[in-house]
Structures are given as C-alpha cells and as structure tokens.
Structure 1
Amino acid sequence: MKKLSSVHLSAIEIFCQLYLKNSTTDAASSLGLSQPKVSRALNGLREVFDDPLFIRKNNKLVPTELTHALYDDFAEMLACANSIESDAINSVCTAESSIIISTVPQLEIGLAQRVIEEVQHSITPNVAVSTQAWSERSEQQLIDGEIDAAICFRHSTKKELLSKSIIQHRGGQLVAREGHPIWQNPTIDNMIDYPMVKLVTMPFPANKSPIGVYAKAQGKPMQIYATAPDLGSAASSLLNSDALMIIGVKAAVDFLSSISGLRAQKMDYAEDKFLLQGFCHPTVYLWLKRALDGKVIAPLWLQQSLETYIVSSHK
C-alpha cells in the first residue's frame, strides 16, 4: 500500500461518487468528468490500497469490504474540505464587503438597489453592491469567484454552477419615439420597414431577433441602427432616429417609456405569437456557484432577492 498522501482530493471525490452511483458512467456524469478520467482515478486508488475496491457484477460496480470501510472516512474528509472552502470564501467576502452581479442590460435597472435593500436586513448590512455587464466570460468569472451571481438568458452546463430557470418572457412591447410613423399602424409588416436598435445581449440563440428572421423571410432584411450596451444608450438611439426596438422585460420597458419623447406599446398578441414560431420563449436564468458538495455558496438571502427581483421585473 502506498502512502495516503499520494491520493488527491479529486480522487476521493470520484471514489465517493462511484460508491454512491455504482457506475463509472453515472459517476462521471455527476461530476462533469469524462469516463476515462474516472477510470484512471479508480485505477490509481487500486494501486494505493492494493485492492480492487469495486468489482463489476451484472453491469454494476460492487464495493469490496475495504471500500465499505473507507467510504465513511472519505465522505467525512470531503465534508471537512467543503467546510474549509466555505469558511475561506465567507472570510474573503466579509473582508471585501462587496457583492458583484453580472447581468444582461434588460435586467440591470434597479438591481443593485434591490439587493442593497435586502442586505439591510441581513447579518452584513454594510456590503457594497455593484453590477457589471454579462458576457461570455461571466461563467468563468463566477467559477473563479470574481463575481457572486449572474443573470442571463442562457443555461449553463458547468457542474460548478447552479443554473436555475426563473421565468419566461410572455410578450414583447414595441418602443419608439413618440412621433414615429409606426404608431399610425404598428403591425410587424410595417415594423420591418424601419431599422432596429438591439441590446448587446438578446434573449434568443445567436442573438437573433424573431422580427429580424421574419423580415429576412420576406426578402426585406432589417437594418441594425445600433447595438446598445445598455438601456440608456438604446434610449438615445431611439430618440434620435426612426429606429425601433422590441423588448420583453417589463421593468426595462417601464424605464424606456419613462423617458420624455419615447413611447411603448404592447404588441398585438396574435402577431407576437406568430413572430415567436420556431423560437423557444426567452428564459431568464440565475447562475450561482456551487461548493464541492453541490451546495450553493451564495447566502440564501441573496439568491431569494435575485429571484424576487427577476420575477417582479416581468410584472
């Protein structure tokens, strides 16, 4: 038997999953690893303990007597490691006293203020809250602990993250300047005659807009007047052009329509439904980091406040 110090914590985690799942395939899936990596870890453990550890019977891995004896100790080691990691993270968060949330522009208005209100009722009332633009890097930033949560329109498959579906958009609203000709007859066939203002992050695959796809099918590809990084920039573009935009988050619509010179109107239900043919209803996801045991690291009050904010932003 080799020294236990030669066993990595990741191998112990694989051992415990094999014990619980009785399958290299299921253990690999649970941990987000490849099956060969799980098999290599098992072979390494067999060398360390000079024991087969698991014997295949009827397409299942059956634990040996040594494996049964080892499991409780290994499970306790993992629990200790998770506890140490959680304490370290909480210590860092307390010292920095800040929360950073990555979000798409449609859901940025009022987000920081909502979290600050929740912080006042928590055990750490002096935490500073800030937001940053969601991007393709946000996933890794959350895993690395650079941000505390992310709100976006995409599901994450990373095992280190909880990717929770919160709500779906159920209707779009047209936004344009008050004197825009579109208000005389706001049908989709008239809308495609005008350029579009898009936000940098759209709630559809590959940032395609349903009306853009429809316009192309009619042989009249829509022109993009501007791709705005935030709602303020989008408002400026709408006020100074004949461009228009369609948006599904009510809080964002309320912000735009509150700006003097802009007008918003709910799209006709039948036309909105027609445009969304072939598209899934846009879904808002909340991403939070998990610990090694699968538990969410962010405090419960933060998760609940973000979920409440997302839901209320659509009403």
Structure 2
Amino acid sequence: MKKLTSINLSTIEILCQLYLKNSTKDVAVTLGLSQPKVSRALNALRDVFDDPLFIRKNNKLVATELTHALYDSFSEMLACTDSIESDVINSITAPEPPIVISTVPQLEIGLAQQVINEANKSRINPNLAISTSAWSDRSEQQLVDGDIDAAICFTPSTRKELLSKSVIQHRGGYLIARAEHPIWDSPTIDNMIDYPIVKLVTMPFPANKSPIGVYAKSKGKQVQVYATAPDLGSAASSLLNSNAFMIVGVKSAVNFLSSIKGLRASKIDYPQDKLLLKDFSHPTVYLWLRRSLDGKVLAPLWLQQTLESYIVNAHK
C-alpha cells in the first residue's frame, strides 16, 4: 500500500457514497460531480490501497473485503468532521481546487483578477484560486466533464448539458500596428490588404474566416498571414517586428496592445467597418456554464454574474 497523502475528505466521501450506492453515476448525481471525476477518485484510491475496492457484477459495484473495513473507519471519520476545529480541518484537508475558466485570448486580460476581486467583495473563500486556460474545440467536453468551470468564447454551444448564453456583440473593430507603420498615412481597408496580418488563434468569425481576407479576395488580392498568435503577448511581438497589422474588436484587448511601447491602435471608421463586415454578423461573445441533470446551472450565481459583467466591461 502507498502512503495516504493523496486522500482528502472529498475522496473519502466518494468512497463511502460508492459503498452505499454501488454506482459511479448515482454518486456523481448525489455529490454534484461529473462521472469522470468520481471514476478518477476511485482509480486514485485503488492505486493507494493496491486493491480493486469494488468489483463490477451485474452492472453494480460490489465492495471488496478491504472496502468493508475502510467504510467503517471512513464513515466514522466523516461523522466527526463537523466537530473538528476549523484550523485542524485546514491542516488535514487538501486545498480547494482552483476555478478554471477557459477563454479566448481577446478576453483573458484581467479575467482572473476580476473574479478574485469579486470573490473577496462577496466574502467568498479569501484563498480561492482562479486559473485560465486557452479555449479550444475541446473546451466543450471539458466543461461537460467538469474539468473546467466556465468558458468564454465566440461560438454558441448546442449541448443540452450546457447553458450557452449570448452576452454581447462587438460593435466596431480597431486597427493595431507598430507606431511607425506606413499604414497610418492612410488607414483604409484598401491599403490594409497590401500588408500581412497577424491573427489570433481563436477568431470571432465562422470557420475562422477573416473579413479582411474576404474583402481582399473581392478586390482580386490575398492577405498574407504573418503569424497566428496564441495570445496577445505573442501578437504584440509579431506586430513590433514586422509590417503586419491586426484588427481587434474587444476594447480591453485593444487597450492592452496599445499600452505596449511601439504599438498604436485606432478605431476603424464606421463606413470602413461596415464595408469590412458586409455579409458577416457582428461577432458575439458567449458564456458557457455546466448544468445539472435537472437543468440547474452548477456555477454559483456570483461567478456567473461576475463573468457576464467582465465580458460587458471588456467591450467598453
């Protein structure tokens, strides 16, 4: 048997519930967890005790002899936790896992700090940890599985397990290039298409189609892609070291890029922006949150409200 360093009260509770319910699915519903999380906890316990703990028979999990012995000790331990002093609880339990938010790079700046500030204001756990991850095609399944807690993106979800809420639309793009770029002599879209473009890995348009690219084709030209950047920092580096430009619609991302020495940003004139977005819908930002089996949103209300407010403010 390995050391018990990986076992915390949550894992113990999962084992006790499995003992009583004989089903990872039923335990997941009872504890408000995803079924994969319950299975991972069981596998971790099997590794610690070097015992299968439960054997599947007739579609039910049947406890082994070791599990019968563990249940008596673990259930007694859980029954005592309410009377344990809070400082003792903190010393023997693992820290709460961080809230993980998957987001596109245009909406990552200041996101974690905003959530932490709101948690402190609402007197949520002062030690609450927040982390962000890059949004991708896998984020939808990660949210369904409970591996992330929310997602911010430009794509609606049709999964019934998720709330996919339209929060706001972009209303106007900004041209960004190095301060000495010749485009600033005449920043029209007809001149932009003569220069290469820097794209972010996640674009707010269907199939990653670029409006500037479509416009260039209508003029018999092709916009060259100088770089596809995974984040705003990489995009800024590409812009500073080339004659490339980029167009961004999220104001907070524009503010971040324009704050970097050597870069300049300017709002595209309305007639130019309208021409650029011809045949395109205005990009929409969506917030995804996981639902329980009865349709209830699992994320706490304060987190949902904080993320919606962050998205709206990022466009001001």
Q: TM over 0.5, yes or no?
A: yes
Distance 1:154 1:88, change over 3 A: closer
Q: Give unmatched runs, 5+ long, in structure 2.
A: 1-25, 42-93
Give how far 1:274 is off: 1.0
Partner SS for 2:304:
helix
Distance 1:243 1:273, change over 3 A: same
Deviations 1:213-250 (A, max 9, x none): 00011111000000000000000000000000000000
In 2, distance between residues paired with 1:264 and 1:281? 20
Distance 1:191 1:239, change over 3 A: same
Give how far 1:95 is off: 5.3
In 2, distance between residues paired with 1:83 and 1:124? 25
2:191 maps to amino acid: N
Deviations 1:77-106 (A, max 9, x none): xxx9897243899x99x9533100000000
Give how far 1:275 is off: 1.1
2:105 maps to amino acid: P
Partner SS for 1:96:
coil
Which one of the candidate residues 78, 84, 107 is aligned to 2:30? 84
Partner SS for 1:165:
strand
For normalisation by structure 1, the TM-score amounts to: 0.71
Partner SS for 2:310:
helix
Give how far 1:299 is off: 0.5
In 2, distance between residues paired with 1:114 and 1:122? 14
Counterpart for residue 271 of structure 1:
272
In 1, distance between residues paired with 2:31 and 2:288? 19
Counterpart for residue 103 of structure 1:
103
Give how far 1:181 is off: 0.3
CA RMSD, aligned part only?
A: 2.1
Deviations 1:37-66 (A, max 9, x none): xxxxxxxxxxxxxxxxxxxxxxxxxxxxxx
Counterpart for residue 112 of structure 1:
112
In 2, distance between residues paired with 1:274 and 1:137? 34
Percent of aligned pairs with the same amino acid:
71
| Matched residue count | 235
1:284 maps to amino acid: V
Distance 1:289 1:184, change over 3 A: same
Contact 1:106 1:231 in 2 (8 A): yes
Partner SS for 1:101:
strand
Contact 1:149 1:286 in 2 (8 A): yes
Q: Please tell me whether residue 307 in structure 1 is matched to residue 253 in structure 2.
A: no
In 1, distance between residues paired with 2:130 and 2:271? 41
2:108 maps to amino acid: E
Contact 1:102 1:149 in 2 (8 A): yes
In 2, distance between residues paired with 1:142 and 1:271? 38
1:164-243 correspondence runs (5 A): 164-243=165-244
Contact 2:33 2:146 in 1 (8 A): no
1:1-315 correspondence runs (5 A): 84-86=30-32, 96-120=96-120, 121-315=122-316
In 2, distance between residues paired with 1:87 and 1:187? 52
Deviations 1:126-163 (A, max 9, x none): 11000000000000000000000000000000000000
Q: Give unmatched runs, 5+ long, in structure 1.
A: 1-79
